[in-house]
């Protein structure tokens, strides 16, 4: 990648938090409470711990070659052709993340707000915004994230504080006594998204202008994960297991619950604000990782030339690969788990092992 | 220069595509529905909507038109009927400002489950409206009545329900999420409050009704209807409804009276109550302990006792405790008779003794009818109002002297 681009450690942490929250913030409570019932929040906690563990693995990969992105590393470790093949597959992973998020966003808006607007139109507008982000490069994306971050945090806290009067502790009792096995099962779909998706950051980590980047990565995932735990907990406390599970967008319903003195009401758009910002960065990052992979694959001089064609490709695939909300949800809770495990867990571990092997070989060559 | 023109053109273009006009709904194209009434006719639903007449509510000049109108139509499902209404209304129904949904008693007895899916699925529906049953009549008749004080009858019903829950107690305001929660829970049954029309419906639906000081036709709030699954199976009376609210910790303020030792009654106002439910196991069977603590004030003294004496006050406290226990037992007995766990005792047991609950879960209905419930009441009289001893005592004495 272009070596001139540098982003600060703080901006990197914010980008990580945004990517953890992304789609997850609005759909995760429904998914985990379907498995773990009143212990759904525990599933999120388990997944967060796992996510932190994964970041340690990603950090180890980064440390091996701190000046090379994942595509360059793949070619370095597995040779040019196998490396290119793996890069291509990794791009497919980024591709799926991007169209998946795009679709979720389009579905949300056409379900809750703009019912009669064609989903293609909504997704097109969202994608155009992301396109500008990608075209201006990661530096601009990161700075934009830094600007929006306070608003997101403020909205989250406002939401959590305003719904507290509606919370009832009995909704999550008995705590961790029944359905514990379900709580463990509920953590599984969460590994796929958002935590294993963090592997995408390996594609531009070398651009971060900070020696403590590994720590920044860990901090980002931890904060993001804990925010998810709190939001799931509050969803369960306020809505109860049944409502949380049955709604497709439980966090949005949580926003609808806000009612302070019959006056402060109907401000569920607060939730939408949090969500639009975070998912924007999620789509942008996926898109960006895809583009730089493409550049690496074809050895292009400049990545910007491929950004426009990809708008069309992404849009068309988002429309045709996830034709309905039902298929989207089923994809996320079934196929996505092994798929994301392949690229988020197996591939990184393979890279680590290959790295060890390579080092040994390299060492032997040097020794005589 | 060329760049500037490009940017200008681009912004112009953006204005066109991002205006969101695809989903624009002008206020003049919407009919704001404040109340929905759902009845069953054969295998079709009749949906009646009470729609605001905005010009009458907020217009600068009042005409002699009514502030609301009702439209009614039938359909195989609720959603079909709601949309079929556009054949009779000039505007499309907008449901976000809905205050009440009323079910006809006949429909309630057959089952309301199928009627609710639409209510929770449609994006226009919020969760802040209440649901109730038209007791002994068709739901559409309730929506036809014009009410004094409130221009919008649906609003009047909504506030009546809330007011009577807050200040009188035998009323329960039920929102849709709570209802669905009870309908889906295996350890809790649903309740809905009833309402009915008192007087002539024909007169009630004309302006005549609100042009008199004493409106001949009124919408009255009734007591709590008990469900088993989604079917209405019986009604609690006033005392039992109050008992229900005591047990479910839903009493904020109410008034009640007890008989004195000497002829006459003493009236207390409940200021503050709190109920704790505890689930226990006793020899392998479930047991519930209901513990009510209540702070009350003396509201009316209609018998010759000296309420400034500590002993007399504690006597009254005991009597109030006994009365509270009686009405709670009455309500539990009624629920057992109807075999419907409306208090959610099952939920409490599931929470507090989860391991043993598994043994009872399968035949909870049977367990509930034989459930051992222990009710405890703790009443503290705090204040006696603005006067101490009643002047009635002195008056009675004077009366006696004259005789």
Is B355–A114 a contact, with Cβ atoms under 8 angstroms apart? Answer: no
Is A117–B22 a contact, with Cβ atoms under 8 angstroms apart? Answer: yes
Q: Which residue in B has a C-alpha nearest to residue A262's C-alpha?
A: B128
CA–CA distance, B239 with A11 (Å, rounded to integer) = 64
Is A174–B177 a contact, with Cβ atoms under 8 angstroms apart? Answer: no
Is A257–B127 a contact, with Cβ atoms under 8 angstroms apart? Answer: yes
Write down the residue that tokens 């290959």 correspond to: A354
| A55-100 pLDDT per residue, tens | 999 998 888 888 888 888 888 888 888 989 999 999 999 999 999 8
Which CATH homologous superfamily contains domain A9-338?
A: Amino acid/polyamine transporter I (1.20.1740.10)
pTM strictly above 0.80: yes
| Rounded average pLDDT per 10-residue block, chain B, 403 residues | 89 78 78 90 89 75 77 90 86 88 92 88 83 90 86 87 86 88 87 90 84 86 89 91 90 87 86 89 88 90 83 89 92 91 89 86 87 91 83 83 83
Domain boundaries, chain A: 9-338
Q: Which residue in A has a C-alpha nearest to residue B117's C-alpha?
A: A246
Is B177–A115 a contact, with Cβ atoms under 8 angstroms apart? Answer: no
Interface of A with B in 248-267 (CB under 8 A): 253, 256-257, 259, 265-266
pLDDT band at A364 (very low <50, low <70, confident <90, very high): very low
User: What's the average model confidence in pLDDT over A298-315?
Assistant: 88
Q: What are phi and psi of B171, to 5 degrees?
A: -125, 145
- Closest CA relative to residue B222, chosen from B212, B235, B204, B208: B235
In our burial notation (b when 16+ CB lie closer than 10 A, e otherwise), range B188-199 reads bbbbbbbbbbee
The pLDDT value given to residue B332: 92
CA of residue A345 relative to chain centroid, distance = 15
Contact B187, B347 (CB under 8 A): yes
- Strands A259-260 and A264-265, bridge-based pairing: antiparallel
Q: Which of A170, A177, A242 sits opposite B180 (nearest CB)?
A: A242
Maximum Cα interatomic distance, chain A, rounded to a whole number of Å: 82
Instruction: Tell me: pLDDT of A367 over 50.
Output: no
Query: Which stretches of chain B sit within 8 Å of chain A by CB?
Result: 17-18, 20, 22-23, 120, 123, 126-128, 177, 180-181, 184-185, 347, 350-352, 354-355
| B162-175 pLDDT per residue, tens | 888 888 888 889 98
CA of B245 vs chain A CAs: smallest distance (Å) = 18
- Closest CA relative to residue A22, chosen from A264, A220, A308: A220
Q: What topology does CATH give the domain B237-403?
A: GMP Synthetase; Chain A, domain 3 (3.30.300)
Contacts of B126 in chain A (CB under 8 A): 256, 266
The pLDDT value given to residue A115: 83
- Closest CA relative to residue B192, chosen from B234, B103, B119, B132: B132
In Å, what is the CA distance from A124 to each residue of A275, A347, B24?
18, 32, 19
The pLDDT value given to residue A330: 84
| CB atoms inside a 10 Å sphere around CB A266 | 12
Domain boundaries, chain B: 27-235, 237-403
CA–CA distance, A216 with A222 (Å, rounded to integer) = 10
Instruction: Tell me: pLDDT of A365 over 60.
Output: no
Contacts of A113 in chain B (CB under 8 A): 23
Is B22–A111 a contact, with Cβ atoms under 8 angstroms apart? Answer: no
Residues 6 or more apart whose CB falls under 8 angstroms from that of A2 comprise A137
Q: Which residue in A has a C-alpha nearest to residue B96's C-alpha?
A: A266
Is B22–A114 a contact, with Cβ atoms under 8 angstroms apart? Answer: yes
> For an interface test with B, which of A126, A168, A174, A265 has the most B Cβ atoms less than 10 Å from its Cβ?
A174
* ipTM confidence score: 0.75
| B324-358 pLDDT per residue, tens | 999 999 999 999 999 999 998 988 888 888 888 88
Interface of A with B in 107-166 (CB under 8 A): 111-118, 121, 125
Q: Which of B23, B127, B355 sits opposite A256 (nearest CB)?
A: B127
Contact B375, B292 (CB under 8 A): yes
CA of B109 vs chain A CAs: smallest distance (Å) = 25
CA of B280 vs chain A CAs: smallest distance (Å) = 14
Q: H or E stretch including B288? A: strand B285-301
pLDDT band at A282 (very low <50, low <70, confident <90, very high): very high
Q: DSSP class of residue A175? A: T
Is B351–A174 a contact, with Cβ atoms under 8 angstroms apart? Answer: yes
CA–CA distance, A155 with A264 (Å, rounded to integer) = 15
Count of A-B CB contacts under 8 Å? 48
The pLDDT value given to residue B383: 85
């Amino acid at each position: 990648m272009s070596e001139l681009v540098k982003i600060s450690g703080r901006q990197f942490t914010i980008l990580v938090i945004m990517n953890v929250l992304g789609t997850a913030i609005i759909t995760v409570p429904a998914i985990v409470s379907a498995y773990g019932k009143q212990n759904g929040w525990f599933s999120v906690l388990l997944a967060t711990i796992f996510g932190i563990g994964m970041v340690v693995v990603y950090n180890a990969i980064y440390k091996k070659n701190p000046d090379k992105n994942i595509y360059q590393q793949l070619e370095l470790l597995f040779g040019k052709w196998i490396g290119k093949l793996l890069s291509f597959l990794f791009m497919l992973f980024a591709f799926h993340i991007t169209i998946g998020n795009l679709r979720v966003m389009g579905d949300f808006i056409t379900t809750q707000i703009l019912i009669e607007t064609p989903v293609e139109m909504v997704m097109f507008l969202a994608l155009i915004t992301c396109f500008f982000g990608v075209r201006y490069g990661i530096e601009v994306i990161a700075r934009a994230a830094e600007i929006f971050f306070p608003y997101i945090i403020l909205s989250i806290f406002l939401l959590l504080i305003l719904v507290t009067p509606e919370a009832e502790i009995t909704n999550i009792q008995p705590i961790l006594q029944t359905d514990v096995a379900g709580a463990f099962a509920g953590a599984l779909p969460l590994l796929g998204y958002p935590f294993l998706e963090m592997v995408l950051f390996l594609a531009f980590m070398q651009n971060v202008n900070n020696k403590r980047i590994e720590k920044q990565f860990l901090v980002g995932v931890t904060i993001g994960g804990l925010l998810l735990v709190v939001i799931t907990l509050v969803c369960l406390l306020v809505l109860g297991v049944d409502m949380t599970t049955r709604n497709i967008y439980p966090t949005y319903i949580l926003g609808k619950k806000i009612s302070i003195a019959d006056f402060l009401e109907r401000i569920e758009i607060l939730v939408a604000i949090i969500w639009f910002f975070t998912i924007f960065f999620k789509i942008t990052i996926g898109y960006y990782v895809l583009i730089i992979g493409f550049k690496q694959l074809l050895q292009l001089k400049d990545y910007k030339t491929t950004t426009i064609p990809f708008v069309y490709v992404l849009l068309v695939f988002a429309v045709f690969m996830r034709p309905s909300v039902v298929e989207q949800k089923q994809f996320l809770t079934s196929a996505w788990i092994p798929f994301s495990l392949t690229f988020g867990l197996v591939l990184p571990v393979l890279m680590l092992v290959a790295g060890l092997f390579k080092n040994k070989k390299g060492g032997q060559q040097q020794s005589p | 220069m060329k760049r500037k023109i490009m940017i200008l053109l681009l912004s112009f273009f953006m204005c066109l595509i991002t205006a969101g006009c695809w989903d624009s709904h002008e206020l003049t194209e919407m009919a704001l529905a404040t109340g929905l009434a759902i009845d069953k006719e054969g295998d079709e639903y009749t949906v009646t909507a009470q729609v605001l007449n905005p010009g009458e509510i907020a217009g600068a000049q009042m005409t002699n038109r009514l502030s609301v109108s009702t439209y009614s139509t039938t359909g195989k499902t609720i959603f079909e009927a709601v949309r079929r209404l556009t054949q009779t209304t000039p505007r499309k129904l907008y449901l976000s400002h809905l205050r009440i949904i009323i079910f006809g008693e006949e429909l309630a007895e057959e089952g309301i489950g199928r009627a609710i899916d639409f209510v929770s699925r449609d994006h226009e529906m919020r969760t802040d409206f209440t649901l109730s049953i038209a007791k002994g009549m068709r739901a559409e008749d309730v929506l036809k009545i014009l009410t004094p004080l409130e221009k919008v009858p649906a609003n009047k019903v909504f506030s009546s329900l809330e007011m009577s829950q807050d200040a009188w107690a035998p009323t329960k305001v039920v929102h849709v999420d709570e209802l669905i929660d009870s309908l889906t829970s295996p350890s809790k049954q649903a309740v809905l409050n009833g309402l009915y029309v008192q007087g002539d419906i024909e007169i009630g639906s004309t302006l005549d009704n609100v042009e008199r000081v004493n409106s001949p036709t009124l919408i009255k709030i009734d007591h709590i209807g008990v469900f088993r699954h989604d079917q209405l199976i019986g009604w609690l009376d006033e005392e039992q409804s109050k008992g229900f609210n005591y047990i479910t910790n839903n009493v904020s303020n109410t008034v009640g009276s007890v008989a004195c030792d000497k002829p006459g009654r003493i009236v207390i106002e409940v200021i503050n109550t709190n109920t704790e439910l505890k689930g226990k196991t006793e020899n392998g069977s479930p047991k519930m302990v209901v513990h009510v603590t209540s702070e009350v004030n003396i509201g009316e003294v209609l018998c010759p006792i000296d309420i400034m004496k500590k002993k007399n006050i504690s006597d009254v406290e005991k009597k109030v405790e006994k009365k509270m226990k009686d009405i709670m037992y009455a309500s539990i007995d009624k629920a057992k008779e109807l075999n419907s766990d409306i208090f959610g005792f099952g939920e409490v047991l599931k929470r507090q003794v989860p391991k043993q609950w598994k043994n009872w879960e399968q035949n909870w209905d049977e367990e509930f009818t034989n459930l051992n419930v222990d009710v405890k009441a703790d009443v503290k009289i705090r204040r006696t109002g603005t006067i101490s001893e009643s002047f009635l005592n002195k008056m009675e004495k004077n009366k006696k002297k004259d005789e």
